[in-house]
Structures are given as C-alpha cells and as structure tokens.
Chains A and B, each alone.
Chain A
Amino acid sequence: MRVGQRIRDGLVLLLLAAYATPFFWQLLTSFKPEAELLVLPPLLPTRPTLAHYAVVLQESLLPRALLNSLGVATLTVALALALGLFGAYALARLPVPGKGALMLGIVASTAFPQIATVSPLYLLMRALGLRDTWTALVLANTSFALPLIIWLLAGFIREIPDAIEEAAALDGAGRLQTLRFVILPLVAPALASAALLTFLLSWNEFLFAYTFTATEASRTVPVALALFPGVFEVPWGDIAAASILASLPPVVIVVGLQRYLVRGVLAGALRE
C-alpha cells in the first residue's frame, strides 16, 4: 500500500512537471541572452539576463498595453459588479414580470457565439464614435460578463433567508438600505469571486479587443502580444519576457486569492 502511494505521488509530480513545461520553457527563454536563444543545447541560460525585460519595458508598447488592460479590467469589474448586483437582487427577490423567461434568455445569450456579435458591435461602436477607446471595451466586456455575474449572485442571494430582510424591513429599512446593509455584507464573498472572474475575463479577452482597438491608445495586452512587432525575424526573447509580464496579474490572483477564485469557477459552471 505504501509503495503504491509513493508511486502515485511520484506520478502526480511527474505529470505536473510535464504539465508546467510550457511555462518554464517560456520563463527560461525570457532570461536567455540573444546568442543562446537560437542554439540548443544549452537548455538553461548560462548567463541569465534581464535584457529582454528591459527592451520590453523601455522600447515596446507593452507598458502602455498593460495600463490599458488594467484600466479596462478595473472599470469593467466596477461597472459589471454594480449592475450585476442590482440585477441579481431584483431577479432573486422582487416580483419582476417574466422572471423565468428573462433568466432563461440571459443564460441562452451566453451560449451565443461571440463572433456573431463582434462585427455588428464594431459597427455600433464606430457609429457611437467609440472606436479605439477604453469605453468600447468596458461596455463590450461588461455585457459579456453580466450574465455570469447575475447568475452567480442571484444564486447566492436566493439562499439568504427572507426572514433577515423582513426583520430589516420591520426595523424601518428601505429596499436600498436593506440591499446596502443586509444583503451586501452577506454576498461579499460571492462578490469577490465574481470580481476576480470578471477581471480575468477582461484581462484575457481577445476578440473584442483585437477588433475594436486600432492604436496603442486602447490596445490591451493580448492584442499587443499578438501584434508584437518583429521586423526581420521574430524576437522570441522579447516576446517571452512580454508574455511573462502579461501573465503576472493572473498569477498573483491565482496564488493570492485562490479560495475566491475556485469558488467562483465552481459556482459559475454548476448553475443548477
């Protein structure tokens, strides 16, 4: 039995090591001096260098793209969470007419392929004069994230006993006060999960950003990476450094806020 478990442990570690290979390879590449990039072996950099990071941070448009991504993601989280909380509360608690159909429509809309909305949205954004702005991305990402957020939060709010709210009402609290002082603290963990998922969704989103942006004024990180300039040959070392930088916020979230993240992923998928 003990031997069997040892073997199993070893197998798990081996699998994980294999699984993490793309990461480690990219990390190694980002520290390799130019001369060692294109010859193998050595596998490991003999003289690790930060040159690629210096190039990316000083000479490329990536810093601007990081700022754009951060701004768009933060604003998307704020807008989507505010709208989503109110919407979820109304759907969970209040006698909104046609509630069932509305909920069904919201879920069905998440199954609709993004590609079907992207080109009409592009025309819409152009007509509104929002092409190549943060606003276009915030609005598009918000509309994309809202169904998931509403679904997540409505599920949590439904589990809060009515009695708590009735008690608040007896004490003279209005609807909004109840929402602010009773519901909000109770759904705070779910709100945190929803915020993380929305942030990552916006940070990683590619199709909208690729289509609606035109210059560094609004290009986000995935777009900047996809369009990374290479004049005569592809600068793999710089790209490696840039993609490591692009992964930092998700890595921080996964390492630091794992509990909320896992809860959000589970609740988002198991919507029954």
Chain B
Amino acid sequence: MLALILPALVILVAFQIVPILIGANASFRSWSLFNPQKTFVGLANYRRILADPLFYGTVLPNTFLFMLASVSGGLLAGLGLATLINRRFRGQRLVRTAILLPLMVPPVVAAIMITWMFNDQFGIANVILEALGLEPVAWLVSRWTSLAIVIGTDIWLWTPWFTLLILAALQTLPVEPHEAARMDGAGPWQVFRNITLPLLRPVLMVCITIRTIDAFRVFDIVWTITKGGPARSTEVFSIYAYKQAFVYLNFDLGAAASMIGAGIIMVVGGVLYKVLSYVVEVSR
C-alpha cells in the first residue's frame, strides 16, 4: 500500500528535498559555477553575505517593506471590496469575474502592463499627471517610486485573493449577532468593528500568514519591472540570491543567501502564526 504514495514522495524528495540539501551543502563550500572547487569553508559564505552592506542595508529593508506594504495593502483592499460586494445584486457574476482575472493572469503579464502604464515618456500615468497640470515623473529611475510601483503591482495582483477568501468567510457568518447589535442601535461602522471584524479574525490570520510568507520570496514581478535596479536599489531577497548564483555565478554565496532567507521566513512565519493565534484566542 506504501506503493501508492511512493511515486509522489520520490518526486518531492528528488526535486524539492534533494535540491535543498545540495544548496545547504554548497552554502558551506567554496563553489563557483565556473570553478566548482567544493572545498569546505565553514561559515565563510554566511559571513560574507551578512557583512554585505547591500544585503543588510538595502535587500532586507526592501524585502520587509515590500512584505509589510503589500500584505497590509492587499488585506485592506480585500476587506473593503469584500464588504462592499457581500450581498445579492445584479451583475454579481460579472463583478466576480472582474475580481478573479488579475489573480489568474501571469504575474509577468501584470508586471509588463504596469511597466507600460508607468513608462516615463508614453505611459498613461504621466499623461494623467500632465492633464492635471502636474510635472511628469520618471517613475522607474528612482528607488522609492520603483518600489512603490512594484508594491502597487503586487497589491493589484493579490487583492482578489483576499477578497475571495474574506467574502467566503463573510457569507458563512451568523446573522443573529449582527441583527441583535442593530436592534441595540449600533451603526454600520460599530457593527463592522465590534461584530464582523472579530468574527473574521481566524480567516484574516490565515490570509496574513500565507501572504506574508509568499511576499517575502517575491521574484517575478520585481524582476520584470526593475530587475532590482536602478543600481541594485530595489533588490529583494530572491533577486539578490538569484543574482549571486546566475549573474555573478557564486553558487555558494547564492546558496548561503537562500538559506539565510529561508531561516528568516521560517522564523517570521512561525512567530506571526503564534502571535496571530494568540490574538484570535484573546479576542474570543
């Protein structure tokens, strides 16, 4: 009977577990892609990554900023949208389709669309600014506007996911507490704040944890929009590790950076889950 699960296990081990082990092993060795000596060097690679000003001064702050802004932005937008459309109305299916589309379209395509809209010469963003009598902005030339665009793209991509999950949760909520609160004269905001939100906490907790872990390892949209530029100022953790391995061909440093990132996200994910579980417990 073990035979049933064996094929899946073989694939998972061969293409998920073994690569992680190869990477972990490489992170302790001197292993360049064009000169794989594979001599053991202890923690030297980790030291080099952690001492790299780019890594601790730019890459990690970018990654955490991206994570925080993208998750909270998507959460708020999703919460708002789900609350707005949580009832029967005409065109429900159309609305749902419009909401689902960004979630299903290749992120690379979304990134290309946004890059085109924020093109400094021909993009519609600058046309609108000029129509309003403002100066056009060279969006992708500075670090902060570039990061803002990348974060905005991610929020755009993931708002549907938040909306979908929160909407599903809203539709299973009991009606009695809401009715009782309204009878007692509570306004819509009070009902939302004191009844709906606490009841939604479990699902919000799951959303936040999953998306935080996801946002930490973002690669495709950042790569498509900025490639980490200008001048490596928008690199996030995955871009940094990728460049170490495939641009500078330092397989060892790339592996060490990956391991550090993996460690961070395990800790962040674990702590987040614990804290949020605690919050949910307390609010019950």
Chain A interface (Cβ within 8 Å of chain B)? Answer: 8-9, 11-12, 15-16, 19-23, 25-26, 29, 37-38, 40-41, 43, 83-84, 86-87, 89-91, 94, 96, 106, 109, 111-124, 139-140, 142-144, 146-147, 150, 175, 200, 203-204, 206-207, 210-211, 221-222, 225-226, 236, 239-240, 243, 246-247, 250-251, 253-255, 258, 261-262, 265-266, 269-270, 272
From A22, A38, A258, A262, B113 is in contact (CB under 8 Å) with A22
From B81, B241, B265, A111 is in contact (CB under 8 Å) with B265
Contact A221 B84 (CB under 8 A): no
Interchain residue pairs with CB less than 8 A apart (13): A25-B116, A26-B113, A83-B7, A113-B258, A116-B255, A119-B242, A146-B8, A204-B106, A226-B224, A247-B106, A250-B101, A258-B100, A270-B165
A120 to B24, CA, bound (A): 9
Of residues 185 through 221 on chain B, the ones whose CB sits less than 8 Å from some CB of chain A are: 203, 206-207, 210, 213, 216-217, 219-220
Chain A residues lying within 8 Å of B216, measured Cβ to Cβ, are: 113
Interface assignment of B34: CB less than 8 Å from any CB of chain A: no
From A96, A118, A120, B2 is in contact (CB under 8 Å) with A96
Given contacts A25-B113, A94-B1, A211-B246, is CB(A86)–CB(B210) below 8 Å? no
Q: In whole Å, how far is A111's beta carbon from the nearest beta carbon of chain B?
A: 5
Given contacts A11-B84, A226-B108, A272-B206, is CB(A40)–CB(B15) below 8 Å? no
A26 to B110, CA, bound (A): 10
Interface assignment of B30: CB less than 8 Å from any CB of chain A: no
Given contacts A15-B81, A37-B122, A117-B20, 8 further A-B contacts (CB under 8 A): A25-B117, A40-B124, A89-B4, A116-B23, A116-B261, A117-B19, A146-B12, A236-B122
Chain A residues lying within 8 Å of B67, measured Cβ to Cβ, are: none
Identity of the chain B residue whose Cβ is nearest the Cβ of A16 in the assembled complex: B98
Given contacts A29-B116, A119-B23, is CB(A83)–CB(B106) below 8 Å? no
Given contacts A143-B14, A225-B108, is CB(A90)–CB(B4) below 8 Å? yes
Contact A140 B15 (CB under 8 A): yes
Interface assignment of B107: CB less than 8 Å from any CB of chain A: yes
Q: In whole Å, how far is B132's beta carbon from the nearest beta carbon of chain A?
A: 14
Of residues 44 through 85 on chain B, the ones whose CB sits less than 8 Å from some CB of chain A are: 81, 84-85
Interface assignment of B276: CB less than 8 Å from any CB of chain A: no
Contact A38 B122 (CB under 8 A): yes
Given contacts A112-B262, A115-B219, is CB(A96)–CB(B5) below 8 Å? yes
From B84, B121, B156, B224, A15 is in contact (CB under 8 Å) with B84
Contact A120 B4 (CB under 8 A): no
